[in-house]
């Protein structure tokens, strides 16, 4: 059996290895359009490669996929984060789980993952042909004929083909797949941080609060987690998660929207008011900036006082009901305008791609083109940051490689 894999990334290599595991005698060739394999793995996780997530609950993991949750919930039963860890560790790459559940090689070097995949491929006789971008696929009887963008390469036919060509920020890059009859969901970026050029809070660069609750008025978008103030706006896990769940909505708004921050992760206003009243009783004669409620960072507390129009010279006893209500609002429903986005350098991903309606989620086989399979980011599956995106690549590639 001749099998072609289109794309020499994480999903391409992993599906090639899965094919060899299932069909020892298959001839497997990877076609890679550039001169490098596994380029994204190399730069991933800031050069450390966050290879998967340490969580093992399938429903918790599936909830980390804004697109593809249902498919991933089933697929993770076949190959999940535990399998990924076992796979790499049994092949000589020890891994460790960080406190935030992200999993990295003990070497702290993505090169360990790259070399492991390359060594395994070599040992299995898998060939990778570089400068071999695929331009079209045509059905020729039971076989699939691949044509190359390079004129000097003649078309070649295969019994089975797995497309693992990765995310594409532009629909144009997906036309060759659409032409075969697959539905393409418009690709837009996911995993980005928020630019807030008109907000004075950017002066608090470096301040982090954990956890906060962030939300977008007029939508059901809401996430919880650490927030980091940067010199351009907001970043940190709560924001990256919000960018993932709202990727399409934010794109429609051209990345101009209002957001709310609940600095206390506390939606019970009575409780907040009660705590502030306790502070009034306890510290009546102290100045507002000198007593920080809820352990808020000093710079943030002073900023929020200023934003509420409460002078730093005021004492707690002088707050009054109006002042207390102002504080409750700024602490639990603080409003900001976002204007633009910045890519998160450690990880970004495409939302959209080949519609999951065009594939059989049990096998990853195309519903419209026999013997054609998909794996990785080319599919309309993407996750939050934390190893979820590589896990989607390993899982879908493992299943596609069964060639069911
Ligand atoms: C900077 C950065 C850091 C990241 N860090 C992490 C992380 O730490 N953890 C995590 O889980 N995720 C991370 N991600 C996301 C993760 O890298 C991707 O989700 C994952 O690489 C997708 O794998 P893939 O094989 O589907 O696609 P890709 O890795 O994009 O591979 C696709 C390959 O196909 C090739 N190709 C494309 N079109 C063709 C064609 N027509 N013919 C032949 N070849 C073709 C491309 O050149 C590429 O080599 C990161 C992403 C980025 C950009």
CA 330 remoteness from chain centre: 30
Q: Which of 247, 241, 295, 315 is nearest to 64 (CA)?
A: 241
Q: Which of 370, 365, 375, 373 is nearest to 79 (CA)?
A: 375
| Cα 21 to averaged position of ligand 1 atoms, centre (Å) | 23
For ligand 1, atom 29: residue with the closest CA = 9
Element (H, E) at 172: none
For ligand 1, atom 30: residue with the closest CA = 166
| Atom of ligand 1 lying closest to residue 13 CA | 25
Q: In angstroms, rounded to a whole number, what is the distance separating the alpha carbons of residues 159 and 142? A: 7
DSSP β-ladder status, 52-53 and 95-97: unpaired
| Cα 205 to averaged position of ligand 1 atoms, centre (Å) | 31
| Atom of ligand 1 lying closest to residue 34 CA | 47
Q: Is the peptide bond before 211 cis (omega within 30 degrees of 0)?
A: yes
Assess contact for 51 and 95: CB atoms under 8 A. Answer: yes
Instruction: Please state at what angle helix 81-89 crosses helix 388-400, rounded to 10 degrees.
Output: 80
| Atom of ligand 1 lying closest to residue 391 CA | 11
pTM of the model: 0.95
Q: What is the pLDDT of residue 195?
A: 97
Tell me how far CA of residue 390 lies from CA of 5, 12, 33, 40, 81, in angstroms. Answer: 18, 12, 20, 10, 10
| Cα 120 to averaged position of ligand 1 atoms, centre (Å) | 19
Q: In angstroms, rounded to a whole number, what is the distance separating the alpha carbons of residues 334 and 3? A: 55
Assess contact for 372 and 161: CB atoms under 8 A. Answer: yes
Instruction: Tell me the CA end-to-end span of the chain in Å, nearest whole number.
Output: 14
Tell me how far CA of residue 299 lies from CA of 201, 263, 265, 330, in angstroms. Answer: 10, 13, 18, 15
Q: Where are the domains of the chain?
A: 2-188+346-400, 199-343
pLDDT tens series, the chain, 404 aa:
999 999 999 999 999 999 999 999 999 999 999 999 999 999 999 999 999 999 999 999 999 999 999 999 999 999 999 999 999 999 999 999 999 999 999 999 999 999 999 999 999 999 999 999 999 999 999 999 999 999 999 999 999 999 999 997 777 789 999 999 999 999 999 999 999 999 999 999 999 999 999 999 999 999 999 999 999 999 999 999 999 999 999 999 999 999 999 999 998 999 999 999 999 999 999 999 999 999 999 999 999 999 999 999 999 999 999 999 999 999 999 999 999 999 877 778 999 999 999 999 999 999 999 999 999 999 999 999 999 999 999 999 999 999 99
Q: What is the pLDDT of residue 14?
A: 98
Assess contact for 66 and 181: CB atoms under 8 A. Answer: no
Pocket probe mutation, ligand 1, options 6, 9, 95, 174, max atoms within 8 Å of Cβ: 9
| Cα 110 to averaged position of ligand 1 atoms, centre (Å) | 14
Q: In angstroms, rounded to a whole number, what is the distance separating the alpha carbons of residues 374 and 137? A: 13
| Atom of ligand 1 lying closest to residue 7 CA | 34
Pocket around ligand 1 at a 6 A CB cut-off:
6-12, 31-34, 39-40, 43-45, 49-50, 133-134, 164-167, 346-349, 376-378, 387-390, 393
| Cα 10 to averaged position of ligand 1 atoms, centre (Å) | 6
96: how many CB neighbours lie within 10 A of its CB? 12
Q: In angstroms, rounded to a whole number, what is the distance separating the alpha carbons of residues 94 and 105? A: 6
| Atom of ligand 1 lying closest to residue 375 CA | 26
For ligand 1, atom 20: residue with the closest CA = 390
Q: 339: number of CA atoms within 13 Å, CB side? A: 5
CATH architecture of 2-188+346-400: 3-Layer(bba) Sandwich (3.50)
Q: In angstroms, rounded to a whole number, what is the distance separating the alpha carbons of residues 84 and 319? A: 56
Q: What is the pLDDT of residue 83?
A: 98
Pocket probe mutation, ligand 1, options 33, 121, 166, 171, max atoms within 8 Å of Cβ: 166
| Cα 72 to averaged position of ligand 1 atoms, centre (Å) | 18
Pocket probe mutation, ligand 1, options 165, 192, 351, max atoms within 8 Å of Cβ: 165
In this structure, what DSSP letter does residue 255 have? Answer: T
Taking phi first (over 0 means left), then psi (-120 to 50 degrees means alpha), and beta for anything else, what does residue 311 get?
A: beta
């Amino acid at each position: 059996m001749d099998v072609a894999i289109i794309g020499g990334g994480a999903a391409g290599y992993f599906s090639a290895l899965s094919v060899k595991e299932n069909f020892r005698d298959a001839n497997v060739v990877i076609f890679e359009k550039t001169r490098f394999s596994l380029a994204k793995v190399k730069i991933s996780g800031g050069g450390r490669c966050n290879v998967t997530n340490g969580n093992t609950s399938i429903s918790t993991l599936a909830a980390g996929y804004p697109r593809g949750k249902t498919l991933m919930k089933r697929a993770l039963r076949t190959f999940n984060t535990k399998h990924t860890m076992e796979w790499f560790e049994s092949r000589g790459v020890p891994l460790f789980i960080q406190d935030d559940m992200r999993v990295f090689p003990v070497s702290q070097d993505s090169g360990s993952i790259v070399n492991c995949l390359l060594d395994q491929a070599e040992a299995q006789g898998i060939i990778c042909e570089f400068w071999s971008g695929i331009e079209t696929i045509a059905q020729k009887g039971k076989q699939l004929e691949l044509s190359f963008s390079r004129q000097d390469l003649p078309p070649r036919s295969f019994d089975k083909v797995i497309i693992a060509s990765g995310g594409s920020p532009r629909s144009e890059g997906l036309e060759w797949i659409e032409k075969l009859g697959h539905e393409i969901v418009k690709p837009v970026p996911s995993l980005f941080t928020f630019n807030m050029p008109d907000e004075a809070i950017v002066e608090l660069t470096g301040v982090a609060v954990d956890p906060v609750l962030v939300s977008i008025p007029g939508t059901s978008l809401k996430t919880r987690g650490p927030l980091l103030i940067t010199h351009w706006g907001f970043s940190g896990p709560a924001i990256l998660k919000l960018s993932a769940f709202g990727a399409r909505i934010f794109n429609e708004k051209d990345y101009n929207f209002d957001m709310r921050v609940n600095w206390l992760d506390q939606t019970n206003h009575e409780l907040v008011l009660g705590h502030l009243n306790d502070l009034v009783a306890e510290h009546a004669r102290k100045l507002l900036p000198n007593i920080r409620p809820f352990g808020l960072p000093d710079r943030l507390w002073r900023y929020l006082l200023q934003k509420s129009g409460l002078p730093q010279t005021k004492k707690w006893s002088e707050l009054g009901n109006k002042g207390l209500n102002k504080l409750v609002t700024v602490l639990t429903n603080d409003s900001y305008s976002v204007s633009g986005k910045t890519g998160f350098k450690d990880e970004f991903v495409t939302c959209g791609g080949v519609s999951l309606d065009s594939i059989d989620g049990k096998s990853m086989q195309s519903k419209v083109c026999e013997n054609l399979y998909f794996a990785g980011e080319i599919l309309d599956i993407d996750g939050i940051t934390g190893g979820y995106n590589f896990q989607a690549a390993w899982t879908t590639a493992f299943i596609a490689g069964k060639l069911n």
